[in-house]
Amino acid sequence: MTSEVVENEFEFYSKAEKYWKDVPATVDGMLGGYGHISSIDINSSRKFLQRFLWDGPNRTGTTRALDCGAGIGRITKRLLLPLFKTVDMVDVTEDFLTKAKSYLGEEGRRVRNYFCCGLQDFSPEPNSYDVIWIQWVIGHLTDNHLSDFLKRCRAGLRPNGIVVIKDNMAQEGVIMDDVDSSVCRDLDVVRKIIRRAGLHLLAEERQENFPDEIYHVYTFAMR
């Protein structure tokens, strides 16, 4: 439970904002010095996502996606724009979104909105998105705020839409990182929060071929 490790909620959020303001607006900056894993990450994410985009009566649409904690648009550029007609991006750091406009190049014309906002305060437009992608950012939300945000994401889905979380998982419990003011939860804690938000887990997968020294990374699809 984040209530056990986050002593001051205001400080938890403000310290994280300050941390990201000092991070270089580069792929390496977005990945904490592990820029070399970006292609492995994107290729796995594409395979995971495409299983829901295949033909069929319950196929997830490809009209519009939302990239949460988007940074400079690494995922928007390489995963979402190639698969969806339009993409919206949301991130708490204005400099990252400014950088995204040049980083995305010509394809960036299909990014409709750049929302500068913390996810604890962000509400996706109801019934608007086929896929809401949330990667390496849930650790910056308390349990209650994460659950509430996922409820708002559920309301933001179009028919057959999905919410995807891809993030680090602790071996046990909840671990606080004082450097970037984030938490890392174990699988059971994350699954409980997903259920609490009224979402049903459709698929869960562990990322392969990442460096041994980093946390295990899991991807969840839900609606």
Number of domains in the chain: 1
* Angle at CA of residue 222, ends 218 and 223, nearest 5°: 165
The answer to the question of whether 74 is labelled as a binding residue is yes
Token couple for 96: 């990252």
Map tokens 């996810």 to a residue.
119
Map tokens 């459709």 to a residue.
202
Q: How many whole angstroms separate alpha carbon 120 and alpha carbon 196? A: 16
Instruction: Please tell me the predicted confidence (pLDDT) of residue 210.
Output: 97
**Residue 196 CB neighbours (<10 A):** 15
Instruction: Please tell me the predicted confidence (pLDDT) of residue 132.
Output: 99
Q: Report yes or no: 194 and 182 within 8 Å, Cβ to Cβ.
A: no
The answer to the question of whether 163 is labelled as a binding residue is no
The answer to the question of whether 171 is labelled as a binding residue is no
The answer to the question of whether 98 is labelled as a binding residue is no
Q: Report yes or no: 76 and 99 within 8 Å, Cβ to Cβ.
A: no
Put residue 173 in one of left, alpha, beta given phi > 0 → left and psi -120 to 50 → alpha: left
| Residue 110: domain span | 2-222
Residue 98: C-alpha distances to residues 77, 91, 180, 184 (Å):
14, 11, 21, 28
Instruction: Please tell me the predicted confidence (pLDDT) of residue 137.
Output: 98
Identify the CATH number of the domain in which residue 34 sits: 3.40.50.150
The answer to the question of whether 119 is labelled as a binding residue is yes
Burial label for 199, CB within 10 Å (0-12, 13-18, 19+), is buried
Instruction: Give every CB contact of residue 220 below 8 A, 6+ residues apart in sequence.
Output: 164, 165, 166, 190, 194, 201, 203, 204
The answer to the question of whether 46 is labelled as a binding residue is no
The answer to the question of whether 91 is labelled as a binding residue is yes
Instruction: Please tell me the predicted confidence (pLDDT) of residue 57.
Output: 84
For residue 90, which amino acid is it? Answer: V
Per-residue pLDDT of the chain (223 residues), as tens digits, is: 787 899 999 999 999 999 999 999 999 999 999 999 999 999 999 999 999 998 788 899 999 999 999 999 999 999 999 999 999 999 999 999 999 999 999 999 999 999 999 999 999 999 999 999 999 999 999 999 999 999 999 999 999 999 999 999 999 999 999 999 999 999 999 999 999 999 999 999 999 999 999 999 999 999 9
* Total-model pTM: 0.97
